[in-house]
């Protein structure tokens, strides 16, 4: 069993006063690690280190900062077997998927390194003839990065790479469910030769996380998490008016038109719903099927769900893995039970398996209504409610009738229908004839309660900057 300490000022810092956090493998319930939880002294040490380091880090040219990021991308690739092993043990992912996540994290790091020569300001015409207005982009300072459990390696680099290239330093809180992979990343940071204090990684309680987020030296908080966590971050940000970037809940609707390739749609939606046991922010969470093809599509989707087995992916990588913990499994099962009590029909799944591990079977619910909890609230598991519609206008209205607006999907061969939905969907992303995958050169940003700001691409990089207007009179 491994034991980890927090990474502060470029070294692993042991504290005699720290409480221990236990980390468990969700596939079999075995304890895989103990991790020291940051003390208040650790937090102050990290904030002081990040603050001092940022003064020098921001003065480097962006191309110099990019060299560090390129080296980190190289080390993430070479260290991917170790990062992947830690991630697989704490998350229940297959070793291959976990290792590939580390490799992909290296690629998004390299992508953001390439912004070095493209962080642009503006020259704006002035009303005064002998005057220029220069708008500069500057770093914010110290950024608190709050990382989720579902894709903790990729999301960690998704947050810190744009923060670092723009001249910020970071304090990272990985999920207490999946902290070990973050400390393997810290080893890659050391190997890449980053200056002390630029990257700090700590396991934290809610109290110490609040201490970080409300400290006056922390200028920005970036989170991927639940709406509840987002509300808490907004409370924290009020203390010092820190900038917040929030990627929150999702309830991706998938619209299946009568002219869609139904086999393709069923196959891809089933894969979306069962990848990492449905624990994806953009996984399809509700399906609207044109009533003329409903029976055919349900038959295809049931076959796809029936073909998905679940189990320990360290023993059989081809099966669907577990939910992150028992609390998640109980919550999901209770949602399914309430949906059935409210009139939904259980087509497949919907039970708690016997034995070790937090497994839940692929579950399909039909005869659902728009006002049901199972349609209105994020499930974050392998459960899929199905509804029908008559016209594409009705489907669009149902898709938009929601508190969330992160991603959306439509399957159709009619480009007019596709463009009508694309131009009117109330979501930050729409995927046409495919399921979501968050291209890192795009912009992953939610509408409504799905968040503020966003990640990826040019606009995600610029989230980590603030502006200065220089009024130059000559």
Instruction: Look at strands 218-224 and 243-247 and give their pairing.
Output: parallel
Q: How far apart are the first and last CA of the chain?
A: 67
| Model pLDDT for residues 300-321, shown as the tens digit of each residue | 999 999 999 999 999 999 999 9
| Residues 146/229, Cβ–Cβ less than 8 Å | yes
Label residues 282-299 b or e (16+ Cβ within 10 Å = b): bbbbbbbbbeebbeebbe
| Model pLDDT for residues 272-291, shown as the tens digit of each residue | 999 999 999 999 999 999 99
Residue that has been written with the tokens 């690739």 in this structure: 77
Length of the chain: 474
Average pLDDT, stretch 365-384?
98
Confidence at residue 372, expressed as pLDDT on a 0 to 100 scale: 98
What residues are annotated to the active site? 247, 281
| Model pLDDT for residues 112-152, shown as the tens digit of each residue | 999 999 999 999 999 999 999 999 999 999 999 999 999 99
Report the distance separating Cα 365 and Cα 374, nearest Å.
9
For 328, other C-beta atoms within 10 Å of its C-beta total 21
Does the pLDDT of residue 16 top 90, yes or no?
no
Confidence at residue 254, expressed as pLDDT on a 0 to 100 scale: 98
| Residues 9/198, Cβ–Cβ less than 8 Å | no
| Residues 37/44, Cβ–Cβ less than 8 Å | no
Label residues 165-178 b or e (16+ Cβ within 10 Å = b): bbbbbbbbbbbbbb
| Residues 93/133, Cβ–Cβ less than 8 Å | no
Label residues 118-143 b or e (16+ Cβ within 10 Å = b): ebeeeeeeeeeeeeeeeeebebbbbb
For 450, other C-beta atoms within 10 Å of its C-beta total 30
Report the distance separating Cα 197 and Cα 53, nearest Å.
5
Q: Supply 361's token pair.
A: 């079977």
Q: Supply 202's token pair.
A: 């700590």
Report the distance separating Cα 400 and Cα 426, nearest Å.
6
| Model pLDDT for residues 421-466, shown as the tens digit of each residue | 999 999 999 999 999 998 999 999 999 999 999 999 999 999 999 9
The model's pTM is 0.97
């Amino acid at each position: 069993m491994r034991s980890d300490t927090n990474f502060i000022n470029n070294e692993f810092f042991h504290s005699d006063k720290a409480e221990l956090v236990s980390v468990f493998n969700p596939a079999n319930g075995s304890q895989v690690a103990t991790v020291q939880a940051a003390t208040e002294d650790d937090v102050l040490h990290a904030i002081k280190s990040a603050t001092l380091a940022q003064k020098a880090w921001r003065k480097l040219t962006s191309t110099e900062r990019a060299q560090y990021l390129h080296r980190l991308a190289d080390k993430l690739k070479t260290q991917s077997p170790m990062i992947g092993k830690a991630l697989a043990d704490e998350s229940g992912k297959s070793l291959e998927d976990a290792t590939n996540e580390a490799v992909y994290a290296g690629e998004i790091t390299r992508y953001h390194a390439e912004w070095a020569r493209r962080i642009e300001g503006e020259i704006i015409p002035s009303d005064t003839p002998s005057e220029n207005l220069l708008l500069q982009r500057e770093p914010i300072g110290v950024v608190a990065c709050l990382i989720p459990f579902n894709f903790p390696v990729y999301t960690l680099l998704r947050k810190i790479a744009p923060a670092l290239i723009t001249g910020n330093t970071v304090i990272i809180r990985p999920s207490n469910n999946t902290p070990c992979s973050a400390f393997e990343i810290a080893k890659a940071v050391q190997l890449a030769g980053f200056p002390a204090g630029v990257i700090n990684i700590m396991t934290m309680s809610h109290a110490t996380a609040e201490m970080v987020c409300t400290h006056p030296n922390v200028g920005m908080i970036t989170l991927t998490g639940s709406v509840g966590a987002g509300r808490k971050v907004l409370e924290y940000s009020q203390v010092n008016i820190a900038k917040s970037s929030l990627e929150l809940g999702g309830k991706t609707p998938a619209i299946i038109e009568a002219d869609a390739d139904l086999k393709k749609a069923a196959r891809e939606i089933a894969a979306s719903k069962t990848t990492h046991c449905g624990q994806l922010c953009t996984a399809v969470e509700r399906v609207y099927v044109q009533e003329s093809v409903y029976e055919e599509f349900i038959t295809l989707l049931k076959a796809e769900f029936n073909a998905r087995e679940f189990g320990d992916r360290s023993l059989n990588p081809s099966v669907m893995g577990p939910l992150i913990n028992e609390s998640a499994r109980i919550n999901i099962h209770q949602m399914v039970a309430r949906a059935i009590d409210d009139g939904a029909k259980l087509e497949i799944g919907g039970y708690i398996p016997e034995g070790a591990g937090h497994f839940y079977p692929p579950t399909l619910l039909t005869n659902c209504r728009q006002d049901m909890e199972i349609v209105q609230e994020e499930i974050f598991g392998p459960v899929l409610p199905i509804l029908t519609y008559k016209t594409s206008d009705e489907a669009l209205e149902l898709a938009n009738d929601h508190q969330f607006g992160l991603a959306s999907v439509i399957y159709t061969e009619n480009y007019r229908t596709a463009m009508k939905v694309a131009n009117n969907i109330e979501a930050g992303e729409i995927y046409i004839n495919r399921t979501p995958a968050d291209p890192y050169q795009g912009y992953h940003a939610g509408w409504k309660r799905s968040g503020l700001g966003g990640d990826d691409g040019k606009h995600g990089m610029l989230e980590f900057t603030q502006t200065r207007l220089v009024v130059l009179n000559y």
